[in-house]
Each structure stands twice: as C-alpha cells, then as structure tokens.
Amino acid sequence: MSENTLSKVDPKHAFLIRVGEVLHRHGTPSHRLERVWTKIANNLGVDGSCLYTPTSLLVSITDENGETTYLRRVDSGAVEVDKLIRFDQTLEKLDAKQISIAQASEELEAIADSGSPFPMWIYVIACAISCGAVAVFFKGTPSEVAAAAVLGLVVALLELLPVRLNWDQGLLEPIAGFVAAVSALAIANFVTPIDDRLVTLAALIVLVPGLKLTLALNELAVGHLSAGVARLAGACVNLLTLTVGVAVGWRVAAGWRNIPDPIDWSGNAVWSWVAIFIAPIMFAIIFRARWPQWPAILLVSIAGFTASLYGGSLWGIEVGAALGALAVGCGSNLYARLRDRPALVTLTPGILVLVPGSLGYRSLTAFLDNNTIAGIDFAFQMVIVAVSLVGGILTANVLVPPRRIL
C-alpha cells in the first residue's frame, strides 16, 4: 500500500494495518499474529478484529464513525528472527507509552526495510552446511555428506534467481529438484558411487515444506481453519512441484545411477552428534537470528532432538516426535519468559530439526517407483509425525505458558 493511500486512513487504523502487514510478511503464524494484533488494538483503545491467511490480511475496525473493513494482499514470508525481535521491542515501547504511534510507525518501516544481519554468502554457506548435516542424520557416508553439501550450495544459489530474474512464483521448486537430481546422478556416475536419492533429498531439505506442513496443522488445531487449509494446500503443492522436478531429472539421467553396496560407517553415531550441534546454528543463520540468540537456539534444538531420539527408540516415532516438540515448546516458552523475547526465536529453528518433510518427499518418490504400499506408509507416517509435533507444542503452551504472544 502506498504512503498516499495510508495518509487518507485514520492514523490508528493505518498503524494497525501496517502492524498486520509486517508481521504477516516476516513469518508470524496466524494464531500468533491475530492475538498480538488484537492486543495492540485494545491498548490503542480500538475495537477491531483481524483475519489472516497466507496470501491476505483482513482487518475490521469499529470506532465512532462505524465499522471499517480493510483488505490487503500480502504474501507470507519466511520467519526472520532478527526483525521479529525488533518489531516486538517497538510494539513493547508503544505499549509502555514510551513512543507515539508516529514514532512506532517509523521504526516499523525502518526495520522492515533493513537488510539481513548476514551477508548473502554466509547464508549460502549455512544452507550448504545444513544440507551436509542432514545427510549425516540420514546415515550418509562421507562422500554422500560432501555431495549433499555441494548440491545444497547450488540449491541455495538457485534461490537467489527468482528475485533477480523475476521468475513466476512456484518455478524455483521444480528447477531446484531437477538440478539436484541430475547433479547427484552425475556425481554417482562420473565422480564416486553414492546413493543419489539420499543426496538429492538432503540437498533439497531447505525447500522441502515440512515446517509449512507443521504450521498448517498447528493453525488447524487451534481453530484458524482458513489459514491452516491455505497453508496446508500451499505446502502440498510445493512438495508436489519439487518432486516433479526430481522425477524429470531421474528420467533424463536414469542411466547414471550408481549406488554402492551398503556399508556400515562406524563414525556415523559420533558425527550425528556433531551434526546436531552444527545444524541448529546453520538454521539460525537461515532464519536470520543474530549470534546472541544462538546459544538459546542450540540448547532448545539439542533438547528437542535428544527427547525425540530417545523417546522414539523407546516408544516409537510418534511419541518421539511429540516429546521432541514438547521439549522445544517448553524450552522456547521458558526462553521467552526469562529473556523477554518472542518464543518464535527458538521455536522455529528448534522445530525444523523435527519436521516430517523428508517423509512426504519419500512418499511421493515411492509412488513414482510404483511402490504404492511404501508411499502410503510414508505419507501416513508424515501425517502422524506432524500431528504429534503439533500436540507437543500445544501441550508445552499449557505446561509453560508463554509470557509473550509472539
């Protein structure tokens, strides 16, 4: 919305609309955004309501002139931890009457227009290292871990193209899937035998919409049906287009497949723990969290991974996922209470380690191989794990109620 349009709107109305837009664009889930928006409106003495979906924002405000409804087209973006913290601080100052609405508006605009806390090359390297760490979680060999890191670097560079080349939305996923699949097969044929399917999945892990799926089910669970259904549909389409790109790559370069005989890499158990210490920091960089938040993100992520690992080994994958999410949720809410920061700072990177996106990818690739039983099994596991994660997060909010809304 242009500044000229905003200037014709009541200042309180314009500020509330802008709050909804910036929180929407920087990755705030619907149930959190609507709660924080309502709290701000009440603090400003405004009676209103807010409805959020991943592609729109509907705001209704009632004052002495009657009810006014505003509709804005806003695309939901990825979580940017640093900006969410700064938005939260600005809104806290407004709530405490330390700044005026005009000053708060200026601060929100400055934060929204600010750049990433890290140079782009650091983001690209973080994506590559996180893909290598994921390959370790998948029990890959050293060659497969190295290949996943290299292809993760390539996929991260491809992420820069849509903005620079003005691609239509949705074109990135099939192209990235195709490039990763063909590149993995080329490495297997011309460089060293590897399990190209493992490498392809690890290289694409940043694009696999496991987090979107979990957020969608969380929104559905708390009654935000329109946002949950829309986000769930978007996640499914992203996963389908990603898999289509991979499938085309497999068909084009099918003759290059060269999977080595299974080996028992004795160092995998040790490197898995090394990876769990590295991956959360890389995810923190991907979500634009500054280094002062890294220790908390690391502790919460390790707690969730450990709870999920041992809970899963004792009682099954569903219980493991629920315990992991419970640990991440309790840790995030405790961090929010002790540090007076949004729980999303640690919740988003911490839950990313647990999300079931890889199961959805494996389900679709199993269907491509005409392995219907395995495809259904993976799909069912994906849904069960996602629901278990949501149950763990909701239980955590009961056991350790967050003092913060964000």
- Backbone conformation region of residue 400, classed left if phi is above 0, alpha if psi is from -120 to 50, else beta: beta
Residue 4 pLDDT exceeds 80: no
Query: CA-CA distance, 328 to 297, in Å (whole number)?
Result: 9
In this structure, are 296 and 283 located in the same domain?
no
In this structure, are 121 and 226 located in the same domain?
yes
- pLDDT of 404: 62
Give the count of domains, the chain: 3
Domain end call among 262, 288, 314 = 288
In this structure, are 267 and 125 located in the same domain?
yes
Residue 254 CB coordination number (10 Å): 9
In this structure, are 129 and 58 located in the same domain?
no
Percent of the chain with pLDDT over 70: 94
Strands (E), 45-127: 47-53, 56-63, 66-73
In this structure, are 66 and 195 located in the same domain?
no
Residue 369 CB coordination number (10 Å): 12
Domain end call among 113, 147, 166 = 113
In this structure, are 136 and 236 located in the same domain?
yes
pTM of the entire structure? 0.87
Q: Over the range 77-114, which residues count as b (16 or more CB within 10 Å of their CB) and which as e?
A: eebbbbbbbbbbebbeebeeeebeeeebbebbeebbee
Residue 233 has which token pair? 């549909």
Residue 386 pLDDT exceeds 60: yes
Task: Compute the mean pLDDT over every residue in the chain, rounded to the nearest whole number.
Answer: 87
Read off the pLDDT of residues 327-381 as tens digits, 9 standing for 90 and up. 999 999 999 888 888 888 898 888 888 887 678 788 888 887 888 888 888 888 8
Residue 400 has which token pair? 């350790």
- pLDDT of 318: 87
In this structure, are 83 and 22 located in the same domain?
yes
In this structure, are 212 and 258 located in the same domain?
yes
Range of 162's domain? Answer: 117-288
In the sheet that holds 47-53, the strands lie side by side as 47-53, 56-63, 66-73
Domain end call among 264, 288, 312 = 288
Residue 138 has which token pair? 């998948």
In this structure, are 153 and 279 located in the same domain?
yes
Instruction: Out of 142-156, 158-172, 322-336, 371-385, pick the least confident.
Output: 158-172
In this structure, are 346 and 399 located in the same domain?
yes
